[in-house]
Amino acid sequence: MIHRTLPFKNIHHSWTRFMLSEAAKSPDELPEHWRVIVKDLGDSFLISLVQLKENKWEPVPGRSTSFSSVLMSKWQGLMGLKAPCLDAYVISHTAAAPGWGPFLYDIALELAGEDGLMPDRQTVSEEALRVWKYYQDNRPDITWKQLDDLFNSLTPEEKDNCLQDSAEDWSSDDWPRSPLSKVYYKQNTDIINKLVLSKKIILVSDETIQEDFQQDVKRGHSRHKKRLIGLGGNKNVPPYTKRPGFKRSKSAPPGFGGS
């Protein structure tokens, strides 16, 4: 395994630039015709940032071929290994327009709730690493729990065992100090609340958002819908005028079948 390291000077310079740009985004900065669409896939959520143009959703500036999106999925284990990972959600896909990555991550954290959210267990980009480090060190509204590796190096319990490839990739034997070795919990739903009040968030369960990947529809999503729908009385806008129910359809929506 190749371990990547970043010179401190470069980290400081890049992180300062990052804080001045990406970390500053908030719901108040969403342009008038932009929306956040949360697609409930069962044990997964697809969070997309789109703009309404000519009565249809289009990618926002900075993403010419696909929507800015984050896919978070309930951890299902890996190849029969005992890796419960505290039963958290995991980020399994990210494709954000410049400046909007942390904004989408915050929404993912709020949707994860008490289950928590963790970085991809195998590969994490330098940009995403900075986001997780900022969560670890600079966000009083975000807490975290340490994950163990598959060999019980930190605790004798099995429930916190997890794959640590991404943490080891960036930090080698010092992986327990890596922000990638943890599960994160947001203590409020401030972002979603603001989006609900401004009517800029939409939950869909039957309509299809065209994306550049497919994801299996999973089970047990009723409580997740209620968590989001119950936050406010926003009205859906065209083309999504039908308010979703709490039950999932018997088959996957078009474009989200198994691969």
Rounded distance between C-alpha atoms, residue 166 and residue 133, angstroms: 13
| pLDDT tens-digit profile, the chain (259 residues) | 444 444 433 433 343 344 333 454 889 999 999 999 999 998 899 999 999 888 888 888 887 667 789 999 999 877 767 799 999 999 988 888 888 999 999 999 999 999 999 999 999 999 899 999 999 999 999 999 999 999 999 999 999 999 999 999 999 999 999 999 999 999 999 999 999 999 999 988 744 444 433 333 333 344 444 444 454 444 555 554 444 443 433 333 333 333 3
- 148: nearest Cα among 112, 114, 182, 178: 182
C-alpha 228 chain-centroid distance: 15
Q: Which pLDDT score, from 0 to 100, does residue 123 have?
A: 92
C-alpha 218 chain-centroid distance: 17
Triad 74, 18, 104: Cα angle to 5°: 30
Rounded distance between C-alpha atoms, residue 100 and residue 232, angstroms: 23
Q: Which pLDDT score, from 0 to 100, does residue 99 have?
A: 85
Residue ranges in the chain assigned as alpha helix (H): 8-21, 101-112, 126-138, 165-171, 190-197, 222-229
Q: Which pLDDT score, from 0 to 100, does residue 96 have?
A: 84
Q: Is 114 helix (H, G, I), strand (E, B) or coil?
A: helix
Residue extents of the structural domains in the chain = 23-229
Q: Which pLDDT score, from 0 to 100, does residue 65 have?
A: 66
Triad 108, 199, 103: Cα angle to 5°: 30
C-alpha 191 chain-centroid distance: 13
Query: What torsion do the CA atoms of 35, 67, 216, 206 make, to the nearest 10 degrees?
Result: 40
Q: Which pLDDT score, from 0 to 100, does residue 30 have?
A: 93
Its pTM surpasses 0.75: no
Q: Is 126 helix (H, G, I), strand (E, B) or coil?
A: helix
| Residue pair 147/183 in contact by the 8 Å Cβ criterion | yes
Q: Which pLDDT score, from 0 to 100, does residue 77 have?
A: 77
